Amino acid sequence: MRKQEKAQREGKNRSRPRLTRRRFIQTTGAAGVGAATSGVLRPGTAAAETVDYPVKPIVALDELSPGTTVPFTYPDDRSPALLLRMTAGVVGGVGPDASIVAFSSLCTHKGCPVSYKPEHRLLVCPCHWSTFDPEKAGSLVIGQASQPLPRIELRIESNQVVATGVAGLIYGRHTNLV
Ligand code: FES
C-alpha cells in the first residue's frame, strides 16, 4: 500500500489545511461581531453611513432615591428598558455614587420582559426564570438565556440621567437602530 493511501485510511491526511483561529476569523468575519456603543452600521451601508444613538433624557437625578426603578424606552419606542438606582456603587454605574444603571427589559432568551425583584436585587424573567444581575453589568446569573442583558449607556447632564447608547444587541434585532 502506498504511503498516502495508508495515511488517508488512518485519518492522517495532512494535505487538508487546518482551521486556525486566524483563518476562521478571516473567512467568517467573526472578529467584527460585537456591541457598538457610539453608533451602529446599518446592514448594507458603508462605514461612512453609521448612525449614532439618540441622546435621550430619562429622569431628573434628584427624583431617584436608592431602590427606585424607572421604565422607559430606548433607542426607540419599541424597545422597553429599565433604569435602576441601586443602594451602592455598581459595575458601570453613573451618578454621584455610581449606583445608576439601565438595561434593555427584553430577556435575551426569548424576549419576555424582565422585572426587578428588590428583595433579591436581581432582574428576573417570568417566562423561563432567567435571572440577571444589575450590579454586575446585567450578567446572567442562572437560566435559559446565554447572554447578559444589553446595557443602556448613561451619563449625567444638567442634573438629568441621559441615555446615550446600547452595549449589546437587543433581543429580536439584527441591529439596535432600525
Ligand atoms: S424568555 Fe426569558 S428565560 Fe426564556
In this structure, what CATH number is given to the domain that contains residue 129? 2.102.10.10
Query: Residues 5, 13: contact at Cβ < 8 Å?
Result: no
For residue 60, give its domain range.
52-167
| Predicted TM-score (pTM) of this structure | 0.76
144/108 Cα distance (integer angstroms): 9
Indicate the helix (H) or strand (E) that contains 21.
helix 21-28
**Residue 16 counted as domain residue:** no
Q: Whose CA is nearest to atom 3 of ligand 1?
A: 128
Residue 144 alpha carbon, nearest atom of ligand 1: 3
CA atoms within 13 A on the CB side of 23: 4
Widest Cα–Cα separation across the chain? 84
User: Binning pLDDT at 50, 70 and 90, where does residue 38 land?
Assistant: low
Q: Is the CB of 149 under 6 A from ligand 1?
A: no
In this predicted structure, the answer to whether residue 25 has a pLDDT above a threshold of 50 is no
79 Cα: distance to centroid of ligand 1 (angstroms): 16
**Residue 2 counted as domain residue:** no
**Residue 139 counted as domain residue:** yes
**Residue 119 counted as domain residue:** yes
**Residue 111 counted as domain residue:** yes
**Residue 104 counted as domain residue:** yes
Active-site residues, by number, are 109, 128
**40-76 pLDDT, tens digit each:** 666 665 555 667 999 999 999 999 999 999 999 999 9
φ, ψ of residue 31 in degrees (nearest 5): -65, -20
Number of domains in the chain: 1
